[in-house]
Amino acid sequence: MKNKKFYLETYGCQMNEYDSHLVESLLTSAGFEKTEDEKGADIVILNTCSVRQHAEERALGRIRSISSAGKRQEIAVIGCMAQRMGDELLSVNSDVKYVLGTDSFYKIAEILESGNGSHIVDISCRDEPFDYESKPSGQSLSDYVTIMRGCDNFCSYCIVPYVRGRERCRPPERIVEEINRLDQNGRKEIWLLGQNVNSYKFDSMDFSALLGNVLENTEIPRIRFLTSHPKDFSQALIERMASDKRICKGIHLPMQSGSDAVLKKMNRKYTAGEYLDKIRKLREAISDVVITTDIIVGFPGESEDDFRRTLDMVEEIEYDSAFMFRYSVRSGTRAEKFGDDIPEEVKLERLDQLIRLQKRISEKKMAAQIGRLQTVLLERTAKQSAQDARGKNDGGLNVVARGGSKYLGEFADVEIKSSSYSTLVGEIAGRQE
E strand or H helix at 210, and its extent? helix 207-217
User: Which residues have C-beta within 8 Å of that of residue 165, sequence separation ≥ 6?
Assistant: 102, 103, 125, 127, 149, 150
| 55 SS3 class | helix
How much of the chain is helix, strand and coil, in % rounded to 5? Answer: 40, 25, 35
Q: Which of residues 156-185 bind ligand SF4 (CB under 6 A)?
A: 158, 160-161
Q: Which partner, ligand SF4, ligand 5AD, none, binds residue 229 by CB below 5 to 8 Å per kind? A: ligand SF4
Residue 151 interacts with, from ligand SF4, ligand 5AD, none (CB under 5-8 Å by kind): ligand SF4
315 makes contact, choosing from ligand 5AD, ligand SF4, none, with CB < 5 to 8 Å by partner type, with none
Give the span between the Cα atoms of 56 and 163, in whole angstroms. 13
Residue in 45, 80, 151, 378 binding ligand SF4, rule: CB under 6 A: 151
What minimum distance in Å lies between the beta carbon of 160 and ligand 5AD?
7
CB burial string 363-397: b at 16+ within 10 A, e below: eebbeebeeeebbbbbbeebeeeeebbbbbbbbbb
Nearer to ligand SF4, 2 or 337 (CB): 337
155 vs 428 by CB, closer to ligand SF4: 155
Element (H, E) at 221: none
Instruction: List phi, psi (to 5°) of 222.
Output: -130, 135
Interface with ligand SF4 (CB under 6 A), residue from 20, 93, 153, 362: 153
- Among the residues of 334-404, which ranges form H helices? 344-367
The item of ligand SF4, ligand 5AD, none sharing an interface with residue 154, based on CB under 5 to 8 Å by kind, is ligand SF4
> Does residue 198 bind ligand SF4 (CB under 6 A)?
no
296 binds, among ligand SF4, ligand 5AD, none (CB under 5 to 8 A by kind): ligand 5AD
Q: Using the rule CB under 6 A, which residue among 50, 104, 134, 196 binds ligand SF4?
A: 196
Q: Is 292 in the site for ligand SF4 (CB under 6 A)?
A: no
Bridge partners (DSSP) of residue 192 are 145, 225
Q: Among residues 250 and 391, whose Cβ is nearest to ligand 5AD?
A: 250
Footprint of ligand SF4 on this chain (CB under 6 A)? Answer: 151, 153-155, 158, 160-161, 195-196, 229
